[in-house]
Homo-oligomer: A and B are copies of this chain.
């Protein structure tokens, strides 16, 4: 059984494990005040090409989302998210548990635009309703699409005009930035969003998300929020060492590139087989639509999510590739799919 179920099936890239071993017996300060975390933060600032940002390392995506949003919003303020947004449907009400409503917005491709947001602002006019304050976007999105630079510029301008916060969930930022269709650089982000994070967990780390706070007004006292939400690891070095390794050279991008390449291989070959896709996804998640019979056949050798029923005979499945996906397994999957289609 080979899994295309997600991008966190394996452990960590070997050089990360090596770095953990090499540093293992050094004594370090706790709670993210160790040398590795400090160096990782400095290194990330170099890569982002900006010094005037605050960077905090957390364990996972839900933790990062809830800690950041709870810190950024006042009690009556709400987040807005595409209906596919991770915080809306896959985090067990983590944001609401901190007291904030999330306003769900239908968006065909999983991406928010000013034209989708305007009606929401128009409908929230007075104190009998929450005050929409933060736009939550994911890049890449939960359905594999990515934001282009001009789309983010439009969102940024819209936020400025309406005094809103723009927050980017970057659990899969690596894959987005390494997509063939991408025109964004990591260093573009501080000009475009108020805060974002760089996902390590789904791109080669054991755990780890690097939250980058760009807007000054959101920076104050953030470490208090980390501690309060249980996000400050005693052995914070575990996070620092991993991000150092990911960004020391080009590892972070190399890994994302590999994941994308594997997805591209699937996309190209499946297209040749006249298979349609639920969404246009130029990143490491693809959603081919296949017959239920084919699904049953594939499930004998592969695990993956059945994403959505399309009609009585067909469903979209989700195939996710990662830094660890093996090319021969992708090739074998394609072959097996061809065979399944013949019957």
Residues of A within 8 A of B (CB): 2-3, 5-6, 8-12, 14, 17, 20-21, 23-31, 59-67, 70-71, 74-76, 78, 89-94, 96-101, 104, 127-131, 201-202, 206-207, 221, 223-235, 237-238, 324
Our pick among B11, B59, B90, B96 for the contact of A59 (Cβ within 8 Å) is B59
Q: Report B-chain residues with C-beta under 8 Å of the C-beta of A227.
A: 62, 91-92, 94, 127-128
A231-B230 contact in complex given A24-B14, A75-B71, A99-B97, C-beta closer than 8 Å: yes
Q: List 20 A-B contacts (CB under 8 A).
A: A2-B27, A6-B30, A9-B28, A11-B238, A12-B20, A31-B128, A59-B59, A59-B207, A65-B230, A66-B230, A76-B93, A78-B93, A93-B228, A94-B228, A96-B96, A97-B99, A97-B100, A97-B229, A130-B224, A130-B228
Could you tell me the distance in whole angstroms from the C-beta of A287 to the nearest C-beta in chain B? Answer: 18
A224 proximity list for chain B (CB < 8 A): 76, 92, 127, 130-131
Chain B nearest CB from A33 CB (Å) reads 10
**Among B2, B17, B130, contact of A24 (Cβ-Cβ < 8 Å):** B17
B92 touches A76 (CB 8 A): yes
B6 near A24 (CB under 8 angstroms)?
Answer: no
**Distance (whole angstroms) from the CB of A63 to the closest CB of chain B:** 3
Q: How far is the CB of A125 from chain B (nearest CB, A)?
A: 11
- Copies of this protein chain in the complex: 4
Q: Is the CB of A92 within 8 A of B128?
A: yes
Contact B207 A233 (CB under 8 A): yes
- Can you add 11 more A-B contacts, CB < 8 Å, to A92-B127, A94-B228, A127-B232? A10-B25, A62-B232, A65-B230, A76-B92, A94-B229, A128-B227, A131-B221, A131-B224, A207-B207, A207-B238, A230-B230
**Nearest-neighbor residue (CB-CB) of A12 within chain B:** B24
**Bound Cα distance from A102 to B320, whole angstroms:** 31
The answer on a CB contact under 8 Å between B8 and A97 is no
Distance A231 CA – B61 CA, assembled complex (angstroms): 10
A60 to chain B, nearest CB (A): 6
A89 B129 Cβ-Cβ under 8 A:
yes
A99 to B, closest residue via Cβ: B97
Chain B: CB-nearest residue to A324: B25
Quick one: given A100-B96, A230-B63, A230-B67, are A90 and B14 in contact (CB under 8 Å)?
no
Interchain CB contact under 8 A, A17 and B20: yes
- Give bound CA distance, A13 to B207, whole Å: 19
Q: Nearest residue in B to A88 (C-beta to C-beta)?
A: B101
Contact status of A101 and B96, CB under 8 A, knowing A76-B228, A235-B11:
yes
